[in-house]
Amino acid sequence: MQSAIFVDVEAGDNCPYSLQSLFSRLDAPREVIQVRLYLGPGEGALYDVTGWCEDGPCPALGAKVEDSGQGYAFLVYGGESGLRYRPAGSAEAWSLDASDQWGDSHLLLSEVTDISWAKL
């Protein structure tokens, strides 16, 4: 099952830069609710993740994709404005004004264990 995922993010309030990138997917995309990020030394920490669209939150999706360095990686991507992160379990609503949240265009992870998938 090989087809493509086109990530097309426009610079804006959530993500300060634009990105257009094509990934060869190796499995079907599924909804992602959390990711483990390694922002400093240590074992990393869990963060809630959502896609970000013009009107606010939308689903974040993930899929195994081809990667020239390792052979494969796990792509997490969202809406036309990218992804948005907040500390896991935060009670604060998704918002561009929240001080503990930030956005990015997409995320590539090497380990599937760093992804928490939505229940089917």
Average pLDDT, the chain: 95
Given a cut of 80, whether residue 11 has pLDDT beyond it is yes
Q: Give the angle 37-33-119 at the CA atoms, nearest 5°.
A: 135
The confidence band for 2, taking pLDDT boundaries of 50, 70 and 90, is low
pLDDT tens profile 14-70: 999 999 999 999 999 999 999 999 988 888 999 999 999 999 999 999 999 998 878
Q: Which domain holds residue 12?
A: 3-117
Given a cut of 80, whether residue 104 has pLDDT beyond it is yes
Q: For residue 70, what pLDDT is reported?
A: 80
Q: For residue 1, what pLDDT is reported?
A: 58
Reported for 14-21, long-range contacts at CB under 8 A and 24+ positions apart, including other chains, are 14/52, 14/81, 14/82, 14/84, 14/96, 14/103, 15/52, 15/81, 15/82, 15/83, 15/103, 15/104, 15/105, 17/105, 18/105, 19/82, 19/105, 19/106, 21/106
Across 71-96, average pLDDT:
96
